[in-house]
Amino acid sequence: MLRLENLTIEHENNPLGIDVESPRFGWVLWSDESDTFQTAYRIEISSVDTLICDSGKINSKKSIEVVISEFMPVAKTRYELSITVWDNHNSVANIEGHFEMGFMKTKWQSSWIEPVQRPTLPTKDLDQPLTEFEIVTEYNPDRDFTEFQPAQYIRIPYKVDKAIKKARVYLTAHGIYEFTINGITVSDRMFAPDNTSYHKILQYQTYDVSEVLSQGDNVFGIVVADGWWSGRIGATGDSCQYGDKVGILVQGEIEYEDGSIDIIDGKEGKSATGPIVFSDIFVGEKYDARLEKTGWDTPDYDDSDWNPVLIVEYPMSNLVGQYGGGVETIMSFDPKEIINTPEGDIVIDVGQVLAGQLEITLSSEEGRMIRFDHSEVLDKEGNFFNNILGVNKEQVLYYITKEGKQTYRSKFTFHGFRYVRVIGWPGELSVEDVRVHALSSRMQNIGSFHTSNEKINQLQSNIWWSQVSNTLSIPTDCPQRERAGWTGDIMVFAPTMNFNRQSNSFLTRWLANVRADQLKDGAVPMVVPYMKAYKSVSSIFGSETSCGWGDAIIQVPLSMYRSYGDKAALQDNYDAMKRWVLYIQDRAANNHPDDYDKWDLEHQNRSQYLWNTDFHYGDWLVPSMVLGNPDGGAMVETAFKTKGIVAPAYYAFSVKSISEVASILGNEEDVKYYDDLYEKIKYAFIDEYIDEDGIMSTDLQGIYVIALKNGLYTESLKTKLIQRLVQLIHENDDRLDTGFLSIPYLMDMLCQHGERALAYTLLYQTKCPSWLYEVEQGATTMWESWGAIGEDGTVSTYSYNHYAFGCIGDWLYREIGGLKIVEAGYEVFEISPDFSCGLNHVKLSLYTPYGFAKVEWVRKENEVTIIVEIPANTNAIVKIPGNQKRRIGSGRYEFSSIVENEGKIMVN
């Protein structure tokens, strides 16, 4: 029997308000018969019971990324979608869904409205270059935050006096908002609109309110706060990145059964402030429950002392329909315990480092102030320790009680934390008084990886938690100190991210911002959305980009193509990739190191193929330079010590990768051009940086990894490079010494060059620095720096929630789980786990674009049983020792294998 499931439109189920000219459709086949393939499909699209588009029966096996070229969607129209599929067993199945278009560039009938308000004060003139980074080492406990803004409450009345056929509200804000109708929350979405490069891309959200509106009087209630628009964000904690006043743009469209249509534009709205005395997305909130305006968003409320809103003009060309999921609560649970610290503080231990919010319930007298300070770690003695320092990074909540029983959860702020110090709680605080809410952007969990080794399982859990904490609206470096879209971090982590959760729409949305923020000369900013604060930070280093970081524009779309078969990600970003490579070409050819004039002609000549100038973050955070030196200076040193060789090596990577993209897109002319360029870079690199004994001019593990990854060797040098890499690892006591730009490729390079056993030694290493060192220190997320907690238990002010070093996930799933992509989107994949990896049980499952692929193997002594599941419409190539290599179609299979134990480590 054939069944269809997971019908997607632009990778979402039944999306509302999308602004996409040619939406892509996808569906998943499921069959109880083995070897099932789609032989044909038919797509029918109708609107109001009229068939608009019928593809007819198309003989094709394509079930993902399907576009119907003759379908021209019309603004604000709802379409019913019906997919029929035929398979090779003569079965037929059908699935139905729907989607609705947004404005599609048609004109808005409403205008922006703003509450009467005091504008947010700019923390500094962000158009001026920054010369020094302000370091705060301690917070002022008496800071009153009076310069922060209150949230604004907006009431918009609307009367319904006829039967409603269909009602939609299109809404966005300068700031972030929460939307209710008659006191009822309209959606679970939080922090809307998402963090984008607002002046270029501002998303509006579409709400179906047909069932929410009542006959008679209604009130739209919208609370709006600073958010990423005017709040204090980024590394420097500066306000007013995009504007200094909050406001909203709302357009309600109510269609009645009698054919009439009403537009609600909010012009009659009124505004006031309420209990949220201040709200800043980074710092926190102050909530005075005594100021609550009970019933403010219901019709009977007396708003005679509220101010009429102001109608204001802003350009509307940046407006685009929401793409991908919004921020939501992904998990709620009770904290682990309440701790009385040696210093006498009361601290909630949530049990997990995360990005989220607390919800507290208490009974109190009126007017008591309770303070909550958030942190990710306790100090060596078990006392509260502020690990996130900087300007405007206090991570604090103030709650002032009303009389009686009450519940509070912040609305417009979140924190990166595990521990919360509570000051001023009435009576004894118990775990029952607290709920913990973890937040992230909505994405489907698609991957799971479990082994017989609890430490590896904890590592996987740590990777997952750092992923969800750092995919709150955009891909970020960390969810506390900066929360910035650092391009280098996602460049290295994307393949792992794509396995754990369905990240396609999330990354597509972010990449639109990368394109929008790409600089005129093709440079891809180090942070996207590229807020002013980072422009001013970049003036310290004299560069707005860096090798590896800017490569996100190539590597992220490539990862989406590989993981999800998303070719449009390559197409849509191809021009931007070319501009990025052109930028590098120009920097290499036309800018020279200081002593260039003293070089001989041959040296000068090869320099045009070497990106040997400019600032770069290089192999950021090389452990041997950072461990034991927790101040920012040591971090920057890793950049200066490695940038000179990493940038030219990454130039080769960019060119090699764009050639791969050109080849996938069928652009043979470009392939030839980039392959020629690559050869020139390669030989210039070898001549410049590798001596004949295979010693590189910067003799660090990571540099060998990057050279090997990019084929920067002659055949005779290759073995020498591997030998030196192995030697450096041994000299380092079999521990890591790789930074951001080399670690993603370290394990693969070892495996591909005959050093698999050493890769396992690194994997199971528990001395610092190593993955399992963190696990043994009790980590529940990935840390920014391996030694964030030292061997003697000393804690430092690093971030404890950075996903970058979690990029090993991708290697674990491929090499230990044994699931490897052969053709994009797992249309064809390989199953080849290594039973000698030191484990006796591994269970991996991935919901690919074609359905579930599963691999489970159990080793008892030298006997292995392996069970695999292949989704319909795909093929797997099975390579299992003792079995013939073979290609199989969908279904469930069991194999057995005898492994000769080659004397490798057995962990359990």
- The residue from 620, 678, 760, 826 that contacts ligand BGC (CB under 6 A) is 620
Residue whose C-alpha is closest to residue 388's, from 836, 788, 808, 45: 788
Position 855, amino acid: V
Contact in structure between 748 and 742 (CB atoms under 8 Å): no
Is 530 an interacting residue with respect to ligand BGC (CB under 6 A)? no
Closer of 478 and 725 to ligand BGC (Cβ): 478
DSSP 284-309: EEEEEGGG--TTTTSTT---TTSEEP
Choices 376-384, 483-491, 699-707, 835-843 (CB under 6 A): range interacting with ligand BGC = 483-491
Backbone angles phi, psi at 552, to 5 degrees: -55, -35
Pairing of strands 346-364, 404-409: antiparallel
Here the tokens at position 200 are: 């270029």
How far apart, in whole angstroms, are the C-alpha atoms of residue 198 and residue 411?
A: 21
The reply to whether omega before 769 is within 30° of 0 (cis) is: yes
Choices 429-437, 476-484, 650-658, 694-702 (CB under 6 A): range interacting with ligand BGC = 476-484
Contact in structure between 319 and 123 (CB atoms under 8 Å): no
Closer of 805 and 857 to ligand BGC (Cβ): 805
How far apart, in whole angstroms, are the C-alpha atoms of residue 591 and residue 580?
A: 16
Choices 237-245, 429-437, 478-486, 711-719 (CB under 6 A): range interacting with ligand BGC = 478-486
Closer of 288 and 489 to ligand BGC (Cβ): 489
Min dist CB 436 to ligand BGC, Å, is 24
Choices 475-483, 571-579, 580-588, 887-895 (CB under 6 A): range interacting with ligand BGC = 475-483
Is 477 an interacting residue with respect to ligand BGC (CB under 6 A)? yes
DSSP 575-633: HHHHHHHHHHHHHHHH---GGGGGS-HHHHHHHTT----S----S-S-HHHHTT--SHH
Min dist CB 439 to ligand BGC, Å, is 19
Buried b vs exposed e over 403-417: b needs ≥16 C-beta within 10 Å?
eeeeebebbbbbbbb
The distance between the two most distant Cα atoms of the chain, rounded to a whole number of Å, is: 86
Choices 204-212, 309-317, 484-492, 600-608 (CB under 6 A): range interacting with ligand BGC = 484-492
Q: Which x/- pattern, by CB under 6 A, does the window 803-822 give for ligand BGC?
A: -x------------------
Min dist CB 546 to ligand BGC, Å, is 7
Closer of 264 and 484 to ligand BGC (Cβ): 484
- The residue from 465, 617, 651, 847 that contacts ligand BGC (CB under 6 A) is 617
DSSP 518-541: --TTSPPPSBSS--HHHHHHHHHH
Closer of 489 and 614 to ligand BGC (Cβ): 489
Residue whose C-alpha is closest to residue 554's, from 524, 509, 586, 588: 524
How far apart, in whole angstroms, are the C-alpha atoms of residue 164 and residue 260?
A: 10
Closer of 79 and 486 to ligand BGC (Cβ): 486
Contact in structure between 726 and 755 (CB atoms under 8 Å): yes
Position 769, amino acid: P
What is the CB neighbour count within 10 angstroms for residue 319? 20
Could you say which of 376, 482, 774, 830 is catalytic? Answer: 482
Is 478 an interacting residue with respect to ligand BGC (CB under 6 A)? yes
CA dihedral 871, 876, 881, 883 (to 10 degrees): 90
| 745-764 binders of ligand BGC (CB under 6 A) | none
Q: SS3 for 690-720, per residue? A: ECCCCCECCCCHHHHHHHHHCCCCCHHHHHH
Pairing of strands 851-860, 841-848: antiparallel
Closer of 154 and 235 to ligand BGC (Cβ): 235
Min dist CB 489 to ligand BGC, Å, is 5
3-state secondary structure of 394: coil
Helix (H) or strand (E) holding 351: strand 346-364
How far apart, in whole angstroms, are the C-alpha atoms of residue 786 and residue 800?
A: 10
Closer of 238 and 489 to ligand BGC (Cβ): 489
CB contact set of 890 (below 8 Å; sequence gap of 6+): 31, 34, 35, 36, 37, 870, 871, 872, 873, 874
Angle between helices 756-764 and 743-752 (to 10 degrees): 140
Contact in structure between 672 and 662 (CB atoms under 8 Å): no
Min dist CB 549 to ligand BGC, Å, is 7
How far apart, in whole angstroms, are the C-alpha atoms of residue 84 and residue 42?
A: 5
Min dist CB 644 to ligand BGC, Å, is 16
Choices 23-31, 482-490, 789-797, 888-896 (CB under 6 A): range interacting with ligand BGC = 482-490
- The residue from 30, 398, 486, 493 that contacts ligand BGC (CB under 6 A) is 486
| 787-806 binders of ligand BGC (CB under 6 A) | 802, 804
**Annotation says 257 is catalytic:** no
Min dist CB 639 to ligand BGC, Å, is 7
Is 774 an interacting residue with respect to ligand BGC (CB under 6 A)? no
Closer of 789 and 804 to ligand BGC (Cβ): 804
Is 650 an interacting residue with respect to ligand BGC (CB under 6 A)? no
| 488-507 binders of ligand BGC (CB under 6 A) | 488-489
Min dist CB 647 to ligand BGC, Å, is 14
Min dist CB 621 to ligand BGC, Å, is 8
Give the CB-nearest residue to ligand BGC. 477
Choices 32-40, 89-97, 110-118, 477-485 (CB under 6 A): range interacting with ligand BGC = 477-485
Buried b vs exposed e over 776-793: b needs ≥16 C-beta within 10 Å?
ebebbbbbbbbbbbeeee
**Annotation says 863 is catalytic:** no
Choices 55-63, 428-436, 480-488, 707-715 (CB under 6 A): range interacting with ligand BGC = 480-488
Q: Which x/- pattern, by CB under 6 A, does the window 566-605 give for ligand BGC?
A: ----------------------------------------
Helix (H) or strand (E) holding 516: helix 504-517
Closer of 772 and 804 to ligand BGC (Cβ): 804
Closer of 55 and 536 to ligand BGC (Cβ): 536
Closer of 396 and 478 to ligand BGC (Cβ): 478
Could you say which of 10, 12, 784, 830 is catalytic? Answer: 784
Is 482 an interacting residue with respect to ligand BGC (CB under 6 A)? yes
Contact in structure between 588 and 610 (CB atoms under 8 Å): yes
Number of residues that bind ligand BGC (CB under 6 A): 10
Min dist CB 479 to ligand BGC, Å, is 11
Angle between helices 567-590 and 668-689 (to 10 degrees): 40
Position 685, amino acid: F
Choices 186-194, 219-227, 481-489, 584-592 (CB under 6 A): range interacting with ligand BGC = 481-489
Min dist CB 640 to ligand BGC, Å, is 12
Min dist CB 486 to ligand BGC, Å, is 4
Min dist CB 476 to ligand BGC, Å, is 9
Closer of 203 and 559 to ligand BGC (Cβ): 559
Contact in structure between 551 and 491 (CB atoms under 8 Å): yes
Is 827 an interacting residue with respect to ligand BGC (CB under 6 A)? no
Binding site for ligand BGC (CB under 6 A): 477-478, 482, 486, 488-489, 617, 620, 802, 804
Catalytic residues: 482, 784
